[in-house]
Amino acid sequence: SGIITALEDISLDVPVGSLVTMLGPSGCGKSTLMRTAADLNAYAEGSVTVFGKTPEQARKDRDLSFVFQDATLLAWRTAIENVRLPLEVGGGNSKAGSASPEELLDLVGLKGRENAMPHELSGGMRQRVAIARALVTSPRLMLMDEPFGALDEITRDGLNVELLRIWKETGTTIIFVTHSIAEAAFLGQKVLTLETNPGRVREYLEVDLPDSRDLHLRDTPQFVSIAAHLRQQLETC
């Protein structure tokens, strides 16, 4: 007794280099699935592989990184010191050819704010620092668990556009959890919709939108149609 099945019959492949978004009602296991892939949760049955490795091995090899809803920056360290942190723990070596912390802050649009303390940065800026920190070990996979969920709509929209740019520039595979239908459709090449009790795949939708996306895309009939379809899927979960 007391055993809860959080996820059941989950089977999916995430293409290398793709950006997959994940939608579903609260409690459907989105975060559990992400945390399992990141070796933050143990699982009872089945198998999870990350680039052909166990999640534990992928974590040890620094093949993956995690971005949480809260930026989780160390308050006593500057922006650049927060980005450097993964290089100072767990072995400390960055991979050959990886970008420097300074280059990554530039990449996320924070050039000139290297020495700012977290309390001097807006919520959106703090999340940019968190993304730069997640990229500093040159991960092949970045798992993002509602990273923009607590931000205002205008900041969130701006970061959506920025994330697409960063994804294209780095070639990192991204899995992105969100409660926002518009965000899921705008960011994802594919959208994974989960249903609840227990969490299982409702749909794994290929998003038929151009790879080059700006916010005006959300006003097009094509986008509105995809968003309406996703809403319908969620309403029947």
Residue-wise pLDDT tens digits, 47-105:
778 888 888 888 888 899 999 888 889 999 999 999 999 988 865 555 555 789 999 99
CA distance 152 to 163: 16
- Would you tell me how many other CB atoms lie within 10 Å of the CB of residue 128? 25
pLDDT for res 1:
39
The pLDDT of residue 4: 47
User: Residue 37: what pLDDT?
Assistant: 82
Give the lowest-confidence range in 32-41, 80-89, 219-228: 32-41
3-state secondary structure of 98: coil
pLDDT of residue 150: 86
Is it the case that residue 237 has pLDDT exceeding 70? no
Give me 173's structure tokens. Answer: 């595979």
In the structure, what pLDDT confidence band is assigned to residue 230 with cuts at 50, 70 and 90?
Answer: very high
* Residue whose C-alpha is closest to residue 19's, from 130, 126, 120, 169: 169
Of residues 3 and 104, the one with the higher pLDDT is 104
Please, are residues 190 and 206 in contact by the beta-carbon 8 Å criterion? yes
Minimal CA–CA distance to 212: which of 179, 167, 146?
167
> In the predicted model, is pLDDT for residue 181 greater than 60?
yes
Q: How many CA atoms lie within 13 A of 165 on its CB side?
A: 14
119-to-108, 122, 123, 129 alpha-carbon distances in Å: 18, 8, 9, 12
The region that residue 153 occupies, defined by phi over 0 for left and psi between -120 and 50 for alpha, beta otherwise, is: alpha
The mean pLDDT value for 171-198 works out to 90
pLDDT band at 26 (very low <50, low <70, confident <90, very high): confident
**Average pLDDT of the segment spanning 31-45:** 78
pLDDT > 60? residue 7: no
- C-alpha distance from residue 195 to each of 9, 81, 173, 201 (Å): 11, 40, 24, 6
Check: CB of residue 119 under 8 Å from CB of residue 82.
no
Paired sense of beta strands 141-145 and 190-195, if any: unpaired
**pLDDT category, 182, cuts 50, 70, 90?**
very high
- Residue closest to 7 by CA, chosen among 22, 18, 20, 21: 22
Q: Which residue has the tokens 């509602």?
A: 146
Per-residue model confidence (pLDDT) at position 93: 55
Binned at pLDDT 50, 70 and 90, residue 3 comes out as very low
